[in-house]
């Protein structure tokens, strides 16, 4: 499993009176296969996971993935860290569903035959086989979320970061994503408000006002989060 080191990371957005500190002195060493991230709206979860592939550069402190610094070695880090955004529209880059899945593979210099084979496999695995030539922006919200997941997983990253991957999915597809995450060989960091997705996770971090206020097994952490939410 990749080795994630987050050392003394603080981060703020905005300037002057509008300055808002979103992460405060976060220190973590993450090596477990399944890591969940929960917390109230605005508690810093998305900002935290965006550190992991260098999308957010910390104001202070460092983040490394397998010894690679997410700022200094950003390009290499992004090859290893697959990232699925909450809003799948932010991730669709090509006109059709099939082309979108193939896009990440083309950038990796694979042969035409290999790209076609892997793309077809992903289309089938995510229930999108009938939509290969369909305009990607015309998919339903949930189908777009599945496409975003397929386009990232097809590149076989070492670490997969999922920021609320099931917000738009119906019950069946949300369940499909849960089972899929269970089976993945990769390390997964998953942000969610759907606590049932975290069943069996090795470690769950609870964020509150930019700090990790609880860090433990799934049951304990979910209990701590519930308590925090009802305070």
Ligand X SMILES: Nc1ncnc2c1ncn2[C@@H]1O[C@H](COP(=O)(O)OP(=O)(O)OP(=O)(O)O)[C@@H](O)[C@H]1O
Smallest separation, CB 50 to ligand X (Å): 8
Shorter beta-carbon distance to ligand X: residue 47 or 119: 47
By C-beta, is 22 or 26 nearer to ligand X?
22
For ligand X, the closer of residues 46 and 155 by Cβ is: 46
**C-beta separation of 9 from 33 below 8 A:** no
Q: Which is nearer to ligand X, 88 or 98 (CB)?
A: 88
Indicate the angle between helix axes 141-153 and 171-183, nearest 10 degrees. Answer: 10
- What's the half-sphere exposure (Cβ side, CA atoms, 13 Å) at 108? 20
C-beta closer to ligand X: residue 23 or 102:
23
Nearest approach, Cβ of residue 48 and ligand X (Å): 7
| Distance between CA atoms of residues 123 and 85, nearest Å | 19
Q: What is the dihedral of CA 45, 49, 51, 54, to 10 degrees?
A: -140
- Closest distance to ligand X from the beta carbon of 42 (Å): 4
Which residue bears the tokens 């950003």?
Answer: 74
With the C-alpha atoms ordered 69, 32, 194, 175, is the resulting torsion angle positive or negative?
positive
Q: How far is the CB of 65 from ligand X (least distance, A)?
A: 19
**Which residues here bind ligand X, judged by CB under 6 A?**
13-14, 20, 22, 39, 41-47
CB of 143 to ligand X, least distance (A): 22
Q: Shortest approach of ligand X to residue 25 CB, angstroms?
A: 16
- Nearest Cα residue to 63 out of 11, 1, 6, 25: 6
Query: 27 and 89 in contact (C-beta within 8 Å)?
Result: no
**111-140: buried (b, 16+ CB within 10 Å) or exposed (e) per residue?**
eeeebeebbeebbebbebeebbebebeebe
Of 44 and 98, the one with the shorter C-beta distance to ligand X is 44
């Amino acid at each position: 499993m990749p080795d994630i080191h987050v050392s003394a990371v603080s981060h703020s957005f905005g300037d002057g009176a509008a300055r808002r500190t979103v992460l405060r002195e976060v220190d973590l060493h993450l090596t477990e296969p399944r890591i969940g991230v929960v917390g109230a709206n605005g508690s810093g979860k998305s900002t935290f996971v965006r550190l992991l592939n260098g999308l957010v550069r910390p104001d202070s402190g460092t983040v490394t993935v397998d010894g690679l610094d997410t700022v200094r070695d950003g390009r290499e880090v992004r090859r290893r860290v697959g990232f699925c955004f909450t809003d799948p529209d932010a991730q669709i880059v090509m006109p059709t569903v099939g082309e979108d899945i193939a896009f990440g593979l083309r950038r990796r210099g694979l042969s035409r035959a290999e790209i076609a084979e892997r793309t077809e496999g992903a289309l089938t695995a995510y229930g999108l086989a009938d939509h290969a030539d369909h305009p990607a922006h015309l998919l339903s919200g949930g189908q777009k979320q599945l496409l975003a997941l397929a386009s990232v997983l097809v590149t076989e990253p070492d670490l997969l970061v999922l920021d609320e991957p099931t917000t738009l999915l119906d019950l069946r597809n949300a369940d499909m994503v849960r089972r899929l995450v269970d089976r993945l060989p990769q390390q997964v960091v998953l942000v969610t408000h759907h606590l049932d997705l975290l069943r069996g996770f090795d470690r769950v971090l609870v964020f509150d006002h930019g700090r990790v206020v609880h860090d433990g097994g799934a049951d304990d952490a979910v209990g701590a989060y519930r308590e925090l939410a009802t305070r």
